Amino acid sequence: MLVLHDSDLTLRLGSLAILCIYSAVILLLSGILLLRFIRLAKERRRRNVTAIWRPLLAQCVVEVPETLPQLKPRDHLVFLYLWNHCYESIRGDARAQLNELARRTKSDQFAKQLLHARRLRRRLLAIVTLGHLQERSIWNELVAMLRADNAFLSLVAAKALLTIDAQAAVPLLIPVISRRADWSPLKVVAMFSAVGADIAADTIAKAACQASPEIGSRLIRHLAATQSQQGLPPLRALLREDSPSDDILAACLFLFGECSDPRDAATVRAHLSHPTWYVRLQAALALGKMGVEEDEPLLITLLDDEHWWVRHRAAEALSNLPWMTAERMTRLCGSLATIESQEHLLPFIAQSNVRKAGSVPTASPRLQTS
Amino acid sequence: MDPTTNHKPTVLMVEDEEDTASLLKFLLERASYEVVHAKDGRQARELVDTLSPPDIILLDVMLPFFTGLQVLAYIRNNTAWETIPIVMLTADGSEHDITRALENGANDYILKPFNPRELTSRLKRFLSPSA
């Protein structure tokens, strides 16, 4: 009897366990099905909104229709993605029509609500939208976002500020750019390119002057990408008045070479004998791009530098001088006193000969990096 | 060939991005063009092999499977298509792509983001009798 009792209890416990497992499985499956259903419903809704609004947005680029379909609050998010994409695909006065559409669909108000959403994606969407709409009422909130820990959020806020009012945004952005090590200089340059190369160059140069050597030198190196010379005056002043770090100095010399303004030639020459090797290297490279005939002996002297890279770049700079030919380099090579200095010239003589023969397309030795 | 006459000029539009394609299609149809759309480089090449030549080609540079530059080379190697004007669509700042496209037989380029009016005027230029 006792054995029977025990087995009955075990049977009961086993049945209960099986029931629990089955219930859990059914619950889990129901959950999965529910999630799948919600996802499909969302996807269907997204497709429907896209099907209605994509052609309408295209039409609005030309003219906003008098009557617009009703936009439900739950569809507004999808609409904003479509609207922003369309806005960023076009330029010119057609954007004004899209702004009108956004106001008529009350997208500005919806975006302002999204500005405080918990999800980062939604906040980013709101900032971008309100930036496009040049919504001045959120100016202070955007300024506060410049201090956000998230680099992406702060960069998007900075871009929106520039879009709303570039003149007012620039003085605010200079100290931020100089402080934020997590902002990619490339992104900074791209952000400013939308408001004009000159503003970009001037702002970034001023920010670089205030920044730590690490951030400043990175910013200066990317100034060349703005293709504007407006960044040069603040940097010249920095070199004249302060004694900048070697990193800043090297970056400035790199930029002087890229811009090749004859006014900077004297500064470049003065740094050919700098005690830090990478400053001498950048001076040599810059002189290869902007030097005159009198600079050739200076570069030849650097072929005997104690540092390998300086000798190499001096040889490269010599080969880049506009009047330099393979024959002239060969003669120069023969006149050099040391084997080390001759060795550095040989590959550039070979390159020059190959270019002259026209057997391979011209490949600028400037593309090589140290 | 003139968009103002009854004959609608045909544009082969090669663009992979759906939103941009929809916008371009609307603008081109509004300007009285008949639009044939290829969604990627592979489809564009298939159309080159099967379709009669269009009046003009609008070709994006960044495409799946084959890039716009590869499609451009393919078109220029096809005798029936080699003289069709090709206008490249390229991102602002991609000077390298523009240079390569023009060197390889593209007739013009339009930068993205584009001005809708400029787009239709540029295409019209190639279809006018004086072009």
Whether B39 is in a domain gets the answer yes
Alpha carbon distance A17, A25 (integer Å): 12
Nearest-CA distance from A152 to chain B in Å?
A: 22
Ranges A32-36, A146-150, B81-85, most confident: A32-36
Alpha carbon distance A172, A230 (integer Å): 19
Nearest-CA distance from A101 to chain B in Å?
A: 16
| Contact criterion met (CB < 8 Å) for B19 and A54 | yes
Q: Which residue has the higher pLDDT, A359 or B60?
A: B60
pLDDT reading at A346 higher than 90: no
Q: Minimum mean pLDDT among A206-210, A233-237, A247-251, B17-21: which range?
A: A206-210
* Upper half-sphere CA count for residue A115 (Cβ side, 13 Å): 24
List of chain B residues whose C-beta atoms are within 8 Å of the C-beta of residue A46: none
Q: What are phi and psi of A73, to 5 degrees?
A: -55, -40
Rounded (to 5) percent helix, strand, coil in chain A: 80, 0, 20
Instruction: Check CB contact of B129 with chain A, cutoff 8 Å.
Output: no
Q: What's the pLDDT at A64?
A: 86
| pLDDT category of residue A286 using cuts at 50, 70 and 90 | very high
Which among A54, A62, A91 is the nearest to B114, CB-wise?
A91
CATH of the domain at B43: 3.40.50.2300
Q: What is the pLDDT averaged over residues A255-261?
A: 88
Q: What is the pLDDT averaged over residues A45-54?
A: 92
Using an 8 Å Cβ cutoff, are B33 and B123 in contact?
yes
Whether B130 is in a domain gets the answer no
- Can you read off the two tokens belonging to residue A5? 């009792």
Q: Closest-CA residue in chain A for B23?
A: A58
- Amino acid, res. A212: S
Q: What's the pLDDT at B93?
A: 66
Q: What are phi and psi of B91, to 5 degrees?
A: -70, 145
Q: What's the pLDDT at A157?
A: 95
Q: Is the peptide bond before B113 cis (omega within 30 degrees of 0)?
A: yes
Instruction: Check CB contact of B29 with chain A, cutoff 8 Å.
Output: no
| Contact criterion met (CB < 8 Å) for B23 and A86 | yes
| pLDDT category of residue A129 using cuts at 50, 70 and 90 | very high
Alpha carbon distance A132, A4 (integer Å): 79
| pLDDT category of residue A365 using cuts at 50, 70 and 90 | very low
pLDDT reading at B131 higher than 70: no
Whether B100 is in a domain gets the answer yes
Q: What's the pLDDT at A87?
A: 94
List, in sequence order, the alpha helices (H) in A321-338: 326-335
Tens digits of per-residue pLDDT, B93-104? 677 888 888 998
Q: What is the pLDDT averaged over residues B20-37?
A: 92
List of chain B residues whose C-beta atoms are within 8 Å of the C-beta of residue A57: 23
Q: From residue A115, give the alpha-carbon distance in Å to each of A76, A103, A157.
A: 14, 17, 11
Task: Give the A:B interface size as CB pairs under 8 Å.
Answer: 47
Alpha carbon distance A56, A79 (integer Å): 11
Q: How far apart are the first and last CA of chain A?
A: 90
Q: What is the pLDDT averaged over residues A180-186?
A: 82
Residues 90-119 of A with CB under 8 A from B: 90-92, 94
- Can you read off the two tokens belonging to residue A313? 């770049």
Instruction: Check CB contact of B31 with chain A, cutoff 8 Å.
Output: no
CA diameter of chain A: 116
Q: What are phi and psi of A50, to 5 degrees?
A: -65, -45
Instruction: Check CB contact of B110 with chain A, cutoff 8 Å.
Output: no
Alpha carbon distance A104, A242 (integer Å): 55
- Compute the mean pLDDT over every residue in chain A, rounded to the nearest whole number: 86
What's the structural domain count of chain B?
1
C-alpha closest to that of A99 among A128, A68, A129, A54: A129
Residues 177-236 of A with CB under 8 A from B: 193
Kindly indicate whether the domain formed by A102-164 is annotated with CATH number 2.40.160: no
Asked whether this complex has an ipTM greater than 0.90, the answer is no
Q: Is A84 left (phi over 0), alpha (psi -120 to 50) or beta?
A: alpha
| pLDDT category of residue A103 using cuts at 50, 70 and 90 | very high
List of chain A residues whose C-beta atoms are within 8 Å of the C-beta of residue B93: 193
Tens digits of per-residue pLDDT, A312-340? 999 999 988 888 888 888 888 888 888 88
pTM comes to 0.73
% of chain A at pLDDT higher than 70 = 95
User: Exposed (0-12), middle (13-18) or buried (19+): which is A126, by Cβ within 10 Å?
Assistant: buried
Instruction: Check CB contact of B113 with chain A, cutoff 8 Å.
Output: yes
The b-or-e profile of A268-305 (16+ CB within 10 A means b, else e) is bbebbebeebbbbbbbbbbbbbbbeeebbebbbebbeb
Q: How far, rounded to the nearest angstrom, does the alpha carbon of residue A99 sit from its chain's CA centroid?
A: 27
Using an 8 Å Cβ cutoff, are A270 and A264 in contact?
no
Instruction: Check CB contact of A82 with chain B, cutoff 8 Å.
Output: yes
Q: Which domain holds residue B111?
A: 10-125
Instruction: Check CB contact of B64 with chain A, cutoff 8 Å.
Output: no
Using an 8 Å Cβ cutoff, are A125 and A81 in contact?
yes
Alpha carbon distance A313, A316 (integer Å): 5
Alpha carbon distance A100, A63 (integer Å): 10
